[in-house]
Structure 1
Amino acid sequence: MRRGGRGAGAGASVAILLSLWFCAAGAAAVGGWLGVRIRDLSETEMDEISAHHGLREGYGVMVVAVLDGSPAARSNLRGGDVIVGFEGRPIVDSGMFQRVVAAAPLDRELPLTVLRRDGRRQVLVRLQPMPREIAGERVAAEFGFFLRESLADARGGPRAGTVDSQALVTDVLPGGPAERGGLRPGDVLRLIDGEPLGSFRDATLILSRVPLDQPLRLVVRRGAEDQLALTLPGPSRP
């Protein structure tokens, strides 16, 4: 039975964002990193691939974007490539691809099978450890929230006037640890597990060290409230 294509909406957007990092859950700074943004195929795309390439059933993941300087860029992966195999294993969907990349070795070139308009080809990639800033954003996503860098105002951080940028919460997943802990879009992170933030980069580096089986303690600024303490439950807990 063919798997269903991923539907539109917040869940699909989050799945695409998470696919960017390829990190094993529970070990944010460990695991192979490819440096692509991917998505699952729609039913129509699966049918087209099956017809065009002679596959018995359409499957794979679509490369949406390739990060500059990443292993994917060095291997000449392109937006629009459909990845259908990794080290000889069929790739059915983005979740499977994340798992196999996270568990793959970093010390040798590994074969990816991709489909392009001109046919099937093999691309060799050498994964690298995930950059800590990206690992930190992945940890935030595991807790159910997303950040972007924002210019700090006069109240931007724990030491007013000394902060160059700040970590602004842009999205919170419905039902996730962040929502259950009271985090909201528009909140500005001030402290993470007791550590003050001087910049957006500080936030991502501190988050990269956060264990996923423990609660995350935050202090945020929300409107006129400058020191709002929140505790987000660990995402690894049932």
Structure 2
Amino acid sequence: MRLHRLLVPAIVLLAACSGPTSRSEAQPPPLAQPTRAAPSDALNMKASFAPVVRRAAPAVVNISAKRVVRQQVDPFWQMFGMGVPPSRVEGSLGSGVIVRADGIIITNNHVIQGGQEITVALSDRREFPAKVLLVDPRGDLAVLKIDVGSERLPVMPIDDSDEAQVGDLVLAIGDPFGVGQTVTNGIISALNRAADPQGGPMTYIQTDAAINPGNSGGALVDMDGDLIGVNSFIVSRSGGSAGVGFAIPAAMVRRVVEAAAGGGHVLVRSWLGARTQPVTPDIARSLGLDTPQGALVADIWPGGPAERAGLKSGDIILSVNGRPAADPAAVSFAVGAARPGEVLKLGVRRGAGLMTASLRAETPPNRPARDDWQVEGRNPFQGATVVNVSPAVADEIGVDPFLARGVLVLNISRGFAMNAGLRPGDVVRRVNGREIGTVADLRAALSAPAPAWQVTILRGDREITANFRT
């Protein structure tokens, strides 16, 4: 049976906090707890995780999001003026983690996506309406804010050591199946695990700590009680935990929180300025490499960070800041999680030799300017909004700027474009044999009426040519 990636919505109903900053003044003081220590080695497994849980659990919250969905009715009844589409309220439930004492909370984007009313329930069962500060759909992260006045909430520190190793003990805190707060333990099974080995923006921490439907947005916690990841999805044949769960690493969580706290509404990742591809076994043999790992530089963006760092086509990036880079996804994530201005040390193989390149992280440039245009008139693009493709636009949309140079279809409204089958993400290459490099080129190509149109677009990695009459 084929493996399925299952996003895991969750509820978190937490036990009462033990710290005085996380409970109301009317609550009694905490009961004395027996002295315990977290297990430090395999021979000490009779010890307890309770100290770690007491520190971490008060910062985990429950998140509920409600949205109103209008339902379709039978067109027959609409013909007679009957049947205003009824609406129903749908909800999603998940977890979140308080990362700043003034009420800033991190969670998964899919937990709150489309939510019109978002409520956060603290561990002492108080509820607060939340507003969305930032969403990062590509990374499946969202930042919320609740207003708690001058109160200081319990916080789970975001791990900044970047020292997690395969085999480290971890805890997963969440609310699977709505049974109440659940804490499971396991180990880190893998680091830099790529969902898209071709170089997508994310790599994940893989863990065997049980993560079941209902854990989304929950915390993956190390033995210091620090947040090392936000639980996001599982791979399972049955839909239940099979010991293959994935969490978004703290490095990306930290960048998203910093962007939101600084007033940003979207996360703009730093970029490499190069197109890379996996080192396959065949490529490794042809280059005389012992193992097929790293990211092969296939193309360099003129004037970009990679070019200024001295990288060349044919180089293989083997590590970033001393950490091995197994594939392009690992390189993309490491660079994307870096703050603009931060200098990264890249371990590079060039020919038979090894070298170190210093790459200064920076956000992708918005050149050429977007030049948004909603197309009108009798032509195949009527109703489409198009923009010039720049590295910044490519990052926003999630397309490859090296392949998508030209004019990008941003969205489609009612019009001929929708009927013609154009889709957001298509790149316009040619119109009636005329090369299209900018929105200005497309304006010129569509300025004169024509009885027939031949249009060539790039969709993914395929060029498609079609003929239309308008």
- TM (norm. structure 1) is 0.51
Aligned equivalent of 1:223: 468
User: Is 1:152 paired with 2:446?
Assistant: no
CA contact (8 A) 1:31 1:103 kept: yes
In the aligned structure 1, how far is the partner of 2:309 from the partner of 2:442?
38
SS of match in other structure, 1:33: coil
Q: Counterparts of 1:30 and 1:122 in 2: how far apart (Å)?
A: 26
Conserved 8 A contact 2:346-2:356: yes
SS in 2 for 1:128: coil
Aligned: 1:141 with 2:399? yes
- Extract unaligned runs of 5+ from structure 1: 1-10, 162-167, 175-183, 188-221, 226-238
Q: Which amino acid aligns with 2:468?
A: G
Distance 1:88 1:145, change over 3 A: farther
CA contact (8 A) 1:28 1:135 kept: no
Bigger strand share: 2
> Partner of 1:4 in structure 2?
none
User: Alpha-carbon deviation of 1:63?
Assistant: 0.5
Aligned counterpart for 1:171 among listed residues 429, 435, 458: 458
Counterpart in the other structure of 2:307: 73
Change (3 A) 1:97 1:146: farther
How many residues of Structure 1 are paired with residues of Structure 2 in the alignment?
Answer: 151
Q: CA RMSD in A?
A: 3.7
The worse-fitting range, judged by mean Cα deviation, of 27-36 and 111-120 is 27-36
Q: Contact 2:300 / 2:313 at 8 angstroms: preserved in 1?
A: yes
Are residues 98 and 154 of structure 1, via their aligned partners in 2, closer, same or farther at CA, if it must alter by over 3 Å? closer
1:124 shift after superposition: 0.4
Distance 1:104 1:141 in 2: 20
Change beyond 3 A, Cα 1:62–1:147: farther
- Work out the CA distance in 2 between the residues paired with 1:171 and 1:104: 31
Structure 1 Cα separation of the partners of residues 267 and 364 of structure 2: 6
Q: Is the 8 A contact 1:29 1:135 kept in 2?
A: no
SS at match of 2:275: strand
1:66-105 correspondence runs (5 A):
66-105=300-339
Q: In the superposition, relative to structure 1, how do residues 125 and 153 fare at CA in structure 2: closer, same or farther (>3 Å)?
A: closer
The one-letter amino acid of 1:134's match is: P
Rounded to whole Å, the distance in 2 between the matches of 1:144 and 1:154 is 21
What amino acid sits opposite 1:224 in the alignment?
R
Question: Are the aligned partners of 1:28 and 1:136 in contact in 2 as well (CA < 8 Å)?
Answer: no
Structure with the bigger RCO (C-alpha within 8 Å, sep 6+) is: 1
Give 1:48 deviation, angstroms: 5.3
Q: Percent of pairs identical after alignment?
A: 22
Give the helix-richer structure, 1 or 2: 1
1:121 aligns with 2:355: yes
Query: Is 1:36–2:317 an aligned residue pair?
Result: no
Partner of 2:284: 46
How far is 1:31 from its partner?
A: 0.7
Instruction: Mark the CA change 1:60 to 1:70 in structure 2 (over 3 Å): closer, same or farther.
Output: same
Deviations 1:119-142 (A, max 9, x none): 111110102111232132341638
- Distance of 1:45 and 1:155 partners within structure 2: 43
Alignment-derived partner of residue 203 in structure 1: none
- Alpha-carbon deviation of 1:114? 0.4
Shift in alpha-carbon separation, 1:152–1:69, aligned structure 2, 3 A: same
Asked if 1 retains the 8 angstrom alpha-carbon contact of 2:346 and 2:357, the reply is: yes
Runs of 5+ in structure 2 lacking a partner? Answer: 1-195, 202-251, 257-264, 367-389, 401-423, 430-436, 449-454
| Amino acid in structure 1 at the alignment position of 2:275 | R
**What's the CA shift string for 1:136-187, capped at 9, x where partnerless?**
234163865344426337662xxx47xxxxxx7622249xxxxxxxxx9458
